Amino acid sequence: MLSDYNLSDDDSRSSYDMAFQVQGDGPRKKRTQNENYNMCSVSVEPLKEKGVPRSLCDLIANMLDCANGTLRKDETYQDMSEVRDDLQLMLDKPSIYLHDQDMGRLSYTGLQIGDTLFGRNAELSTIKEAYRRTVAGDNELDCELAPSKQKLAHQVNNVLGREAHHLAKLIPNLATILGMESNSIIHDEGCTNAQNRLQHLLCRFVEVISSTFAAPVTLCLDDLQWADSASIAAVDQLLLTGGIASQHAKFFFLGCYREGETDNCNPLWKTLCNNDLVNARSTNVKLDCMDEETLTTMVSETLCLLPRLTRSLSSIIYHKTKGNPLFVSQLMISLGKEGLLRPSLSRRRWEWDKEKIQCQKLPDDVAIFFTNSIEALSEDVKASLCVLSCFGSSAETDFIKTLERLLKKTLLSNLDAAVEEGLLDKKYGWYHFSHDRIQEAAYNMITILDQGRFHFSYGMALAPLADGAGEGDDSILLIAANQLNLAGPEAVQEKKQNVTVANLNLQAGKKAMEMSDFVLAYSYFDNGISFLRKKHWEEHYRLSLELFDLAARCALTNGGIVSLKLLSEQVIAYARSYEDKLNVLYLVTCSLAFSSKLPESIEKGLDILANLGIDLQESRNTEACIQETTTLLSTRTDDEILNTRQMTDPTMIMAMKFLGKLGSSMTMIMPRSVPFVTQKMIELSLAKGMSPMSPIGFVYYGSYTAKLGDISEGYHHVKLAVSLLDKVGLRESAGEVICIATQVKIFVEPIQAALEYHDDGYAASMVTGDVFYALLNTMLRRGCMNVAGVNLQTMREEYDTFERLVKTKKYNHSLILVHAKLIQRDVLTLVGSDEEVTIPEEQKLIASNNSVLKFFCFRKAYINFMFRSYDDAKEYVSKFYDCRENAWASLLATHINTAFYTGLISFWVARKSRDAQCWFARGNESKLTLKIWAESSQWTFENKWYLLEAEESFTNNDFEAAKSFYKQAISSAKLHKFVHEEALAYELAAYFYLELGEMEQSMEYFLAAHEKYHEWGALGKCNSLVEFVKSSFSQASSTVTTSLLHA
């Protein structure tokens, strides 16, 4: 019917003319008083009888009233444009503005606020665009829209392996998909940091899901201002993985938080301030209160009345609520309940008392408004809402039934009444407060004194169920503990209740540890300790020891060094035996190592081992120690070693943990002591049985042996160490073992293979929560990329990513970061970037740590050599040799570059220095080292050895031999894909021919070097080379020089 009219006509005829047109009269003519009288008798009732919608009849009636001069204030049309607007709304939204409402039903149900979002189109578009960016990508994903459970299970098992059971503990449906029985899920396993392990597994799980399904994995979390640090840390890790992981992994995160309720101590605040660290693009969407026009639309569509008719009501509501959406909806519901906004059966529409609503006094704070709304309820309903508020924002119906039975109170029917009032929602077997402010209002109605009393009574009522809970009742355990902890120790009325609550917190803390939430676990243990009475060490020793031990472990995991110190002091003071102190002593030793206090960590570890009767006998000769270990191992075959029985003595197992930590620390600052540690670990493993730490002893022995020159023997034992990982059961040391073993393997296998090995080492470290070796695997992987000559732009991005990764982890990892950033600084120089690289604590670490000093001197010597700064290269390589003796005990990829480039610099200095003999000897030492390594791995070392031979021949004036070796170095580097060393060989050969005066040959090699450096991405080096050629060649060679410049 309406579609027959042209609503776009811009005719602005008067209401008078319009009225005549509607009645169907002929040409317009001047009205008379009598004609006005006749119009008053016109009625729209015949239209209603013919089924014309009520809203259209009302519109016509209003037009007639305008013509008659019968004005209805807010309902009066002012001009034709208002009529067109109303008719257009009826066309656009007929279900709202045209069709009749069932006012009989509304008079029974009351006003219903729908789920429509008003005034949020811009915000929704922003979110949709962010989602579109996540879905979009340069690669097409080869994914099924609905893969089977079997395929998903296969993918999860393939990626996570046996570690999937850790996630299955948190995601029961995953256990079903994977076909895991509940009794097959391991609930207790040694782990350096289970929270980091869980974060890593979650990230891998997201990668599996996103690569299996076409859509990205989407996570939406509300009320983030109340999120705990463990949840925020998990989100951080997911964002980090989404930013730096495989381009096939798509992850979209939508988080909502209330502004003004986050400070710089809130974990969410740290994420908001450091979102650049995760390399994930973020979009901030601020949701303000509704403006008056939006609120008018909301009121209009809720009441199914045209905006023109509801504007007076919406104006009042706006000024009372300031457009707060929650306040608006609750106020409208309240007005409906009070009869101020009501359905009219006679008019078949909503009507309201404008003056009474205007006079109604409302609080400025929405929380007070909710409090008043709750106060209006019956006492029973109010009491039930207060009970529910003590348990948070929601509770399961079955739990409410349990609570009803235990407290002997009627709850369900009262909560259902609150649902009818709009204060609660009931969905899927859960009661939810309609908004967190309603829950706050209900809880704040309880006095402070009663809050503690209520929480304690609820907790004690639930305690019997929690104490005897089976696998399916873990939630009761945590709820009971939470209630008792909210009450606090002051709520205890009987002495025996202290022990009950402490025990309950102990069990809750263990359960939280199983879920890898160490922050929550620490809070349970800490609360359990707070409930213990005086003389608890004497009266409840085992309970006290276990609470303090586990709290200390959580403190270390969470980075709470001060808390760890206080807890360990208590255990050390009150433990009844030295064995009872070992757990906290080990944690203290670890904390010192994690804090880069390696000398203190080593000293404490040696003291503890001495108390256990283990003497490393470091007064012996190192070579004799190594020979003794070699002799001991020669008495066993590999199969015999792999099948050695498991260690069962708890004290010896702890001793092996101390030895493992000692070996890791000594390898960095006391390398000559490492053989004594590895010997003792191997001795104990063969005599007492294999422990989870045993592979560490074998891998460090292999690494040290390889560094001494026996690559084959070292390679054999690091492979044996990796094989032992599966034999000892737990893979607690897997990340460390793979890390050290890989660095030896690259001296036998092509160095490019090391990249995959270190990826495995990173994954193994994260599975056990070992952040240090996860980062070390990552750093050494990039070191291998550097040696392998990976494109410098890729290296630049890799080191940027690594820096972000380090900054997301706890503890002081400055030792790892400084090594990475020193290489990053050289990469930026080579690519020609002016970007500054600042290294925190650089000078402090250089002054206090010999390995950092040595590496710093080498990097300085290297970069000055690459840019042909002779004096600086000589100065820093001299400093490098001064501190070389105290190098790491392990054989590392960095030793390849240090041996190679210090040899090249030494031959360079020998040709120019008066002290030629000393420098020639140093260069020759490097050449022989590379020659030995080339016998183990021709692929990685042959070209380097040839180039050192060429430089030695050049220094000895054996020019024909030099020419041959330069060609062989270039050919070998090209064959084995070392583009950076191919460029270097061309460049050094060019200097050689320049020295001989063979200008054309020299220029040819400079051109080739320039091409290869450019291919490597070393644009800064290319520019430097051009400048050298310009200044070194005469005009006779200008044509060739111009070619180089154009290249």
pLDDT digits (tens, 9 = 90+) for 936-964: 999 999 999 999 999 999 999 999 999 99
pLDDT digits (tens, 9 = 90+) for 1013-1041: 999 999 999 999 999 998 888 644 455 55
**Does residue 897 have a pLDDT over 80?**
yes
Residue 8: its pLDDT value, please? 47
Q: How confident is the model at residue 469 (pLDDT cuts 50, 70, 90)?
A: very low
**Does residue 246 have a pLDDT over 50?**
no
Residue 322: its pLDDT value, please? 85
Residue 797: its pLDDT value, please? 86
Cα 689 to Cα 87, 322, 617, 664, 774, distances in angstroms:
89, 74, 22, 21, 28
β-strands 217-221, 251-255: how paired?
parallel
pLDDT digits (tens, 9 = 90+) for 299-327: 999 999 999 889 889 999 888 888 888 88
pLDDT digits (tens, 9 = 90+) for 60-119: 888 877 766 655 566 777 788 888 988 999 999 998 888 888 888 887 778 888 878 888
**Does residue 359 have a pLDDT over 90?**
no
Average pLDDT over residues 275-279: 50
**Opening angle at CA 375, ends 369 and 380, nearest 5:** 145
Which string of DSSP letters, residue by residue, matches 795-833?
HHHHHHHHHHHHHTSSS--HHHHHHHHHHHHHHHHHHT-
pLDDT digits (tens, 9 = 90+) for 702-736: 999 998 889 999 999 999 999 998 887 667 788 99
Can you give the C-alpha Rg of the chain in angstroms? Answer: 39
Burial, 518: exposed, middle or buried (Cβ in 10 Å; 0-12, 13-18, 19+)?
buried
Amino acid at 734: A
Average pLDDT over residues 283-288: 83
Amino acid at 1002: S
Q: Which two tokens stand for residue 152?
A: 């998903």
The DSSP 8-state label assigned to residue 290 in this structure reads P
Which string of DSSP letters, residue by residue, matches 170-210?
T-HHHHHHHT--GGGS------S-HHHHHHHHHHHHHHHHH
For residues 41 and 36, what is the distance between their CA atoms, to the nearest angstrom?
Answer: 9
Taking a C-beta distance cutoff of 8 angstroms, is the pair 235, 271 a contact? Answer: yes
**Does residue 417 have a pLDDT over 70?**
yes
- List Cβ neighbours of 437 (8 Å cut-off, separation of 6 or more): 326, 366, 367, 370
For residues 717 and 309, what is the distance between their CA atoms, to the nearest angstrom?
Answer: 87
**Does residue 1001 have a pLDDT over 60?**
yes
**Opening angle at CA 395, ends 391 and 397, nearest 5:** 140
**Does residue 1047 have a pLDDT over 70?**
no
Residue 70: its pLDDT value, please? 59
Q: Which of 481, 579, 473, 603 is nearest to 530 (CA)?
A: 481
Higher local confidence (pLDDT), 701 or 889: 701
Q: Which of 338, 427, 396, 336 is nearest to 115 (CA)?
A: 427
pLDDT digits (tens, 9 = 90+) for 141-191: 334 444 566 777 777 777 776 667 677 766 767 777 777 654 444 444 445
Q: How confident is the model at residue 3 (pLDDT cuts 50, 70, 90)?
A: very low
Residue 68: its pLDDT value, please? 65
The DSSP 8-state label assigned to residue 690 in this structure reads B
**Does residue 563 have a pLDDT over 70?**
yes
For residues 562 and 556, what is the distance between their CA atoms, to the nearest angstrom?
Answer: 9
Q: Which two tokens stand for residue 12?
A: 């602005």
Q: Taking the alpha carbons of 301, 307, 312, 317 in that order, is the dihedral positive or negative? A: positive
Q: Taking the alpha carbons of 630, 632, 636, 642 in that order, is the dihedral positive or negative? A: negative
Taking a C-beta distance cutoff of 8 angstroms, is the pair 433, 326 a contact? Answer: no
Our CA dihedral for 458, 462, 464, 468, rounded to 10 degrees, sits at: -160
pLDDT digits (tens, 9 = 90+) for 519-562: 889 999 999 999 999 999 999 999 999 999 999 999 988 888 89
For residues 278 and 800, what is the distance between their CA atoms, to the nearest angstrom?
Answer: 11
Which string of DSSP letters, residue by residue, matches 735-795?
HHHHHHHHHHHTTTS-GGGHHHHHHHHHHHHHHTT-HHHHHHHHHHHHHHHHHHT--HHHH
Amino acid at 205: F
**Does residue 27 have a pLDDT over 60?**
no
**Does residue 139 have a pLDDT over 70?**
no
Residue 9: its pLDDT value, please? 44
pLDDT digits (tens, 9 = 90+) for 824-866: 999 999 999 988 877 777 787 788 777 788 889 999 999 999 9
For residues 765 and 773, what is the distance between their CA atoms, to the nearest angstrom?
Answer: 6
Q: Which of 386, 376, 362 is nearest to 440 (CA)?
A: 386
Residue 518: its pLDDT value, please? 81
Burial, 927: exposed, middle or buried (Cβ in 10 Å; 0-12, 13-18, 19+)?
buried
Check residue 496 and give left, alpha or beta (phi > 0: left; psi -120 to 50: alpha): alpha
Q: How confident is the model at residue 891 (pLDDT cuts 50, 70, 90)?
A: confident
Q: Which two tokens stand for residue 851?
A: 């390995």
Q: Tokens 């929405």 correspond to what residue?
A: 366
Residue 393: its pLDDT value, please? 87
| Long-range Cβ pairs for the range 594-602 (8 Å, 24+) | 594/556, 594/772, 594/811, 594/812, 595/561, 595/811, 595/812, 596/812, 596/814, 596/815, 598/665, 598/668, 598/669, 599/669, 601/661, 601/665, 602/662, 602/665, 602/666, 602/669, 602/670
Q: Of 22-31, 332-341, 537-546, 766-775, which gets the smallest average pLDDT?
A: 22-31
Higher local confidence (pLDDT), 715 or 231: 715
- List Cβ neighbours of 650 (8 Å cut-off, separation of 6 or more): 579
For residues 948 and 696, what is the distance between their CA atoms, to the nearest angstrom?
Answer: 35
Burial, 850: exposed, middle or buried (Cβ in 10 Å; 0-12, 13-18, 19+)?
middle
Average pLDDT over residues 655-662: 94
**Does residue 987 have a pLDDT over 90?**
yes
Which string of DSSP letters, residue by residue, matches 295-319?
HHHHHHHHHT--HHHHHHHHHHHHH
Question: Whole-model pTM above 0.75?
Answer: no
Q: How confident is the model at residue 664 (pLDDT cuts 50, 70, 90)?
A: confident
The mean pLDDT value of the chain amounts to 83
Q: How confident is the model at residue 335 (pLDDT cuts 50, 70, 90)?
A: confident
For residues 871 and 854, what is the distance between their CA atoms, to the nearest angstrom?
Answer: 18
Higher local confidence (pLDDT), 886 or 346: 346
Q: Taking the alpha carbons of 236, 237, 240, 242 in that order, is the dihedral positive or negative? A: negative
- Type and span of the H or E element at 266: none
Q: Which of 767, 708, 790, 777 is nearest to 737 (CA)?
A: 777
Q: Which of 672, 699, 664 is nearest to 776 (CA)?
A: 664
Q: Of 25-39, 651-665, 908-922, which gets the smallest average pLDDT?
A: 25-39
**Does residue 11 have a pLDDT over 70?**
no
At 957, phi and psi to the nearest 5?
65, 25
Higher local confidence (pLDDT), 271 or 687: 687
Burial, 597: exposed, middle or buried (Cβ in 10 Å; 0-12, 13-18, 19+)?
middle
- Type and span of the H or E element at 68: helix 54-68
Burial 298-324 (b: 16+ CB within 10 A, else e): bbbbbbbbbbbbbbbbbbbbbebbebb
Q: Of 197-211, 580-594, 623-637, which gets the smallest average pLDDT?
A: 197-211
Q: How confident is the model at residue 489 (pLDDT cuts 50, 70, 90)?
A: very high
Our CA dihedral for 791, 792, 793, 794, rounded to 10 degrees, sits at: 60
Which string of DSSP letters, residue by residue, matches 416-448?
HHHHHTTSEEEETTEEEESSHHHHHHHHHTS-H
Note the maximum CA span of the chain: 130
For residues 603 and 588, what is the distance between their CA atoms, to the nearest angstrom?
Answer: 12
At 253, phi and psi to the nearest 5?
-120, 130
- List Cβ neighbours of 414 (8 Å cut-off, separation of 6 or more): 380, 381, 383, 384, 385
